[in-house]
Homo-oligomer: A and B are copies of this chain.
Amino acid sequence: IADVSPIRDFDLAAVYVSDAQYNRNIFFDTTPQAIRLYLLYNHWGFQILVYAFILVDLALAIFEDPAVVPLPIWVTSVIELVCLAAFTARLVHYAKVIPRERFWKDPKNICIFGIILLSLVDMIIYGVLKASGFYAVRWSRVLRPLLLVNITEGRQLRRAFRSIRNALPQILYVFLLFMFSVLMFSLMALKLFGKRGLKTIEGRPYFTNYLEIVFDLYVLVTTANSPDIMMPAYNFSVFFAVFFITYILINTYIFMSVFLAVVYNNYKKYLKEEVRKLVRAKRHKMVRAFGVLQERKGDEAPVVSQACWNQLVRLVQPDISNAHRELLWSVSDDNNKGCIGKVAFVQLADLLNIQVIMMKSRPHPLKTWLPSLYLSSPSRLVCRMVQHRAFMYTYDLIILVNAVFIGLDEEDPLIANVEWAFLVLYLLEILLKLYSFEPRAFFSRHQFWNWFDTIIVITALIAMIINSALKLSGGYTSRQILDIVFILRILRLIRVVDNIKRFRAIINTLIKIGPTILTFGQLIVVVYYIFAMVGMELFKGKIRFFEANSTDPDKAFCGNPLLKNSVFAKHNYCKNNFNNVISSFILLLELTVVNQCGFTAVTHISARMFFVLFHIVVVIIIINIFIAFVLEAFFVEYTVDQSNLQSSLEKKIEELELGVKQYVPDSFAIREEYIFYAMGWLSACFLPGYKTVDGLLQRMFEADLDPEDFAEDDDFDPNNPSNLNFPNPNFDSV
């Protein structure tokens, strides 16, 4: 390494920093062309495009047989070919970015390649078979959701799958014990009830077939068939209730809690390990960036100058404001030396991830344009009034009164007119606030509730005007528009909750864990899609749904004679079927909530395996991981304070404010959050959310992380790239 390298490769350093910031672990070539390609690869436009193509590919299930909206095979095939072409292009792009030998070592790439290839093969086979009139199955559709897991951007999802895989052995042991208990109880039930000639309410013999007992008792764990399954025995003798009580106590309460405990514990353990690896990889990347930019003066430790650093930050985050950049520099260069060492430099990735909102407090535009009017005493009175707490409480009261009016019958013309009055009141509120607060501050990016209010009120206004126009012109009301109006009106009520501090704390925590819930959403989509595809092939057309006005005699048993007199048909569950992808998803959701398997009546008994498997995968594993995550996130909220970096940033902000106190602007406070902003031209606040899911994860386990992971790593060799890129764990491919 040259002591002073005058022409530094800023692009390369910027890529390292950006990779560290977003926790990307891609081993790219360091030639200038490769770096440019790599920057292009990471461009948000391409990332969105990839997700859009995956979405289209997944959505094809709506149009393919069994379809919601049938389209000819050639249309869906052409769309799928376009998608596959896009995935291939992305893969080729990736292959250009990273060294050849690395490309084929990465199971993710092989997996995507395999999915594309298998899809093509399947399409050809399907086309040929269909053309020659044979029965054909599009089996490769099961592979589609795996694209979500295996694309470069699916890091979070891969991590979730890895934690599940790592927790599996432990879960398996508890599950085996649990199944042993179910089998034992089933055997006992067979011996106790089988010979007594009891009947279920459907008139079938009660507890005579061992496998059916096992299935029924398994379902009892989900509480879906409670108390139906117990009633025949309980009606026969009160003592038999003891059997079921013991069963529920052991299998529903104790075992389900143990499942949660095991899943939670393992999830936490492995996630901590993953976060530790992430933090180490991030550090290595930052050290590498430092190695590119460092200057060495004589025997002193290498440093990075402020000019260098500024150029780097501008490259990494072009939209950063000067004030924000200066703030970050002053945090890094605590002693005003004009240059920073390795340790301070490494912080940069984390600093960039802290969301700082910079607000220049500007005078109200009206003050500039019409100072005499805006500063007149009536105008000042209005401003003071709007900023007063009583204004907020008045509107909370108005909202509550509105809630009562919404509950009343809206066909009464009086009430319909009152609704207009409320709308005018809400509009007035927004206009008054815009009058007394600076509009750009009012509509700044993080003012979630202001945006929420304005959008809802404006949309409601538009919808009501359209509705009235329709009514006046044609004399009829559009049901859809009315529905939208109602929903908007009711959503407006949420505002009340946000004004109560205690509630806001809970809601903020919920919003904070929002992005991670999205990861779980993807996880659920992957699992649901696979089960929906398999379910559709197995069960499509077994149950038919008839419209309410249908007179078909088959309607009484959902078009399947096997369901005659079944509870399934009696409860009119016919729409719970696998006849298209949307019904399948809704049915799977119902199965997640409560195990409702009328299905098993219409197919072979082994189809129950499908439902049990689904229950194990979704309820026992994924829902428990979800609960574990919510628990952990809440505990972090309750216990962990800000990170060190956040507090030093905050301290710096306060220090700087002291020097610029003279800039304190005029009235600015709307709610408590604003009071904080009003302290100076260089104000900042930390939004509760983190920019990245990784940030939340890192914070969740920060207290447990090994301090040495943050310590200076002296024997790091920037020339040995094997130190830098952590191998992608094996499970990257599913």
Contact = CB atoms under 8 A, between A and B. Distances in A.
B257 A626 contact: yes
Interface in A547-584: 548, 570-573, 575-576, 582-583
B176 A257 contact: no
A571 B177 contact: no
A14 B190 CA distance: 55
11 contacts: A184-B494, A188-B486, A188-B487, A188-B490, A191-B483, A210-B407, A223-B594, A227-B596, A228-B571, A232-B572, A254-B630
A265 B635 contact: yes
Contacts of A190: 407
A180 B201 CA distance: 39
A517 B406 CA distance: 48
Contacts of A493: 184, 187
A448 interface: no
Contact of A631 (B245, B257, B575, B630): B257
A731 interface: no
Interface of A: 173-174, 176-177, 180, 184, 187-188, 190-192, 201, 210, 223, 226-228, 230-232, 234-236, 238, 241, 245, 248, 252-254, 257-258, 260-262, 264-265, 403, 406-407, 410, 483, 486-487, 490, 493-494, 496-497, 502-503, 506-507, 510, 517, 545, 548, 570-573, 575-576, 582-583, 586, 589-590, 593-594, 596, 623, 626-627, 630-631, 634-635, 638
A502 B169 CA distance: 11
Contacts of A626: 253, 257
A635 B265 CA distance: 7
A230 to B, nearest CB: 8
A635 B269 CA distance: 11
A258 B630 contact: yes
A448 to B, nearest CB: 17
B503 A173 contact: yes
Query: Which 3 A-B residue pairs are closest in the complex by CB-CB distance?
Result: A261-B634, A191-B486, A257-B630
A623 B494 CA distance: 30
Looking at A245, A506, A626, which has the most chain B CB atoms within 10 Å of its CB?
A506
Given A191-B406, A227-B573, A506 B177 contact: yes
A457 B673 CA distance: 72
Contacts of A582: 238
B510 A572 contact: no
Given A192-B486, A407-B190, A626-B253, A590 B262 contact: no
Given A187-B406, A248-B593, A497-B177, A571 B261 contact: no
A630 B191 CA distance: 32
A210 B596 CA distance: 28
Contacts of A232: 572
Contacts of A180: 496-497, 503
Given A177-B506, A235-B548, A261-B630, 12 more contacts: A173-B503, A176-B503, A177-B503, A180-B496, A180-B497, A184-B494, A191-B483, A210-B407, A227-B596, A236-B548, A257-B627, A258-B510
A163 to B, nearest CB: 16
A201 B571 contact: yes
Contacts of A192: 483, 486-487
B634 A258 contact: yes
B260 A226 contact: no
Given A210-B407, A490-B187, A570-B201, A502 B261 contact: no
Of A177, A227, A264, A545, the most chain B CB neighbours within 10 A belong to A227
A486 B253 CA distance: 25
A201 B265 CA distance: 44
A234 B192 CA distance: 41
A575 B228 CA distance: 12
Nearest to A180: B497
Contacts of A507: 177
Nearest to A196: B479
Nearest to A230: B590
Given A248-B593, A257-B630, A634-B258, A231 B573 contact: yes
B254 A187 contact: no
Nearest to A194: B409
A235 B510 contact: no
Given A187-B407, A576-B227, A245 B589 contact: yes
A226 B591 CA distance: 10
A590 B230 CA distance: 10
A173 B630 contact: no
B594 A226 contact: yes
Given A253-B623, A493-B184, A226 B503 contact: no
A490 B261 contact: no
Contacts of A227: 573, 576, 590, 593-594, 596
A634 B262 contact: yes
A219 to B, nearest CB: 12
Contacts of A238: 582-583, 586
Nearest to A496: B180
A590 B631 contact: no
A586 to B, nearest CB: 5
Contacts of A503: 173, 176-177, 180
